[in-house]
Amino acid sequence: MLPAAPARSAEAWIPEQAIVHAGADLLVLDKPAGLLCQPGLGPQLADSLITRVQRHWPQAQLVHRLDRDTSGLILVALDPVVHRGLSVQFADRQVHKRYLAVVHGRPQAMQGRIELALARRQRQPPLYGPDPAGKPCRTDWRLLGPVSDLPPLHSRLELWPLTGRSHQLRVHLSVIGHPILGDPLYGPDDAAAGAPAARRLHLHASDLRCVHPCSGAELVFASPCPF
């Protein structure tokens, strides 16, 4: 049963099927691609996941964020103690996260690790790139298999980011020569290459495991990959 909330209006809302878990102090939502986690600057960027949630739970706070174009699991705290406790777990790298992605090309190895410091290169739109003076980042990956044996070649990977920097997975995969399919910032220009453009960024936060700050219970959530 969902926590008590005001009657829903005709305004945009999170679909019922996108609510993975609803407790008295924690929501787990399956964010769609294309939706901001929090509002940006200007009225055209006012719509976001948290503003939609706060119409019904005004006390709601994001615990972490995903890029606008990334879909998948998001934790939203309904209690300040839970928010603080989960935020500490993220900061201490105690939250286990798994992503799925479709990338251009086919890696020669079955698995690997990318350790490459990143820094912001511009603000609007935000772009990041390798920089020895930037923040340390680590991504582990494993090849799940080809998407198709027909050209152009694409592969499905699972990813485990040890750190959680902005655009980390997107930049790391681009740097090793396997940008994520549908990435408008770090991927190839599909139109220039004569290939049909992907309808979305093929990156999904599929699994998340943490500990409830109050009860100590292990929390495990999963979201099916939409691509």
The tens digit of pLDDT for each residue in 29-38 reads 999 999 999 9
pLDDT tens column, 30-69:
999 999 999 988 888 889 999 999 999 999 999 999 999 9
Range of the domain at 123: 98-203
CA 196 – CA 34 distance, rounded (Å): 19
Q: Is 0.85 surpassed by the pTM of this model?
A: yes
Place of tokens 């998948």: 72
Co-location of 182 and 112 in the same domain: yes
180 and 215 belong to one structural domain: no
Residue 61 belongs to some domain of the structure? yes
6, part of any domain: no
Q: In 3-state terms, what secondary structure has residue 87?
A: helix
Taking the C-alpha atoms of residue 11 and residue 101, their distance in angstroms, rounded to an integer, is 32
Residues 83 and 170 placed together within one structural domain of the fold: no
Rg (CA), the chain: 18
39: exposed, middle or buried (C-beta count within 10 Å: 0-12, 13-18, 19+)? middle
Q: Count how many domains the chain has.
A: 2
CB atoms within 10 A of CB 178: 22
Q: Determine which one of 30, 47, 67, 207 is catalytic.
A: 67
> What digits encode the pLDDT tens for the residues 80-105?
999 999 999 999 999 999 999 999 99
Residues 106 and 196 both lie in one domain: yes
Does 27 fall in a domain? yes
Does the residue 107 lie in any domain?
yes
Is 67 among the catalytic positions?
Answer: yes
